[in-house]
A and B are shown apart, each in its own frame.
Chain A
Amino acid sequence: MDSQVIQWPSQMAKVAQLIVQQVTSVHNSRLGVIGQKACRVLEDMQALQRCRSRLDTCLWRGWLGAAKSVAEEFQSLTRNLPHELDQLKSALEHRDGHMPRLRDVFEDLQQLENEFGEIRWCQERKILAVTTEYIVLEDIQLGPFEIRLDISRLNRLPSDRPYSIVALEPHPAASNDSITHPHVSDEILCAGNAGAAIVTTLSTGRICDFFVLVRSVLTTYNPNSPYVSLDRWEGVACEDCGYTVGSDDTYYCTSCEQDYCGDCISSCHNCQDSTCRSCLEECPICGDSYCRSCMTRCPDCRQAICSTCLDNRSCSCHEEEQEETSNGTNQDKDQPPRASQAA
Chain B
Amino acid sequence: MRILFINNDGAGFADYVEIADGTTVEKFFAQKLPDRQASDFLIRVNRQPVAKDYVLQEGDRVSITPTKIEGADAAA
Chain A residues within CB distance 8 Å of chain B: 98, 107-108, 110-111, 114, 182-183, 185, 188-194, 196-201, 204, 206, 208-209, 212-213, 216-220, 222, 224-227
Contacts and interface: CB of A to CB of B under 8 A. Distances in A.
Contact of A194 (B6, B71, B74): B71
Given A111-B44, A111-B47, A219 B67 contact: yes
7 contacts: A201-B8, A209-B8, A220-B68, A220-B70, A222-B71, A225-B73, A225-B76
B65 A212 contact: yes
Nearest to B74: A190
A212 B42 contact: yes
A216 B66 contact: yes
Chain A contact surface mostly: helix
A198 B12 contact: yes
Given A190-B76, A209-B6, A217 B65 contact: no
A33 to B, nearest CB: 19
Contact of A183 (B8, B42, B71): B71
Contacts of A206: 6, 12, 14
B72 interface: yes
B73 A190 contact: yes
B65 A209 contact: yes
A183 B10 contact: no
A23 to B, nearest CB: 14
A182 B65 CA distance: 22
A197 B10 contact: yes
A138 to B, nearest CB: 14
B71 A196 contact: no
Contact of A209 (B10, B12, B69, B70): B12
Contacts of B72: 183, 190-193, 222, 225
Contacts of B63: 209
B20 interface: no
A196 B8 contact: no
Interface in B42-76: 42, 44, 47, 63, 65-74, 76
Contact of A197 (B8, B47, B71): B8
B6 A196 contact: no
Interface string B18-53: 000000000000000000000000101001000000
B73 A213 contact: no
Contacts of B71: 182-183, 189-194, 217-218, 220, 222, 225-226
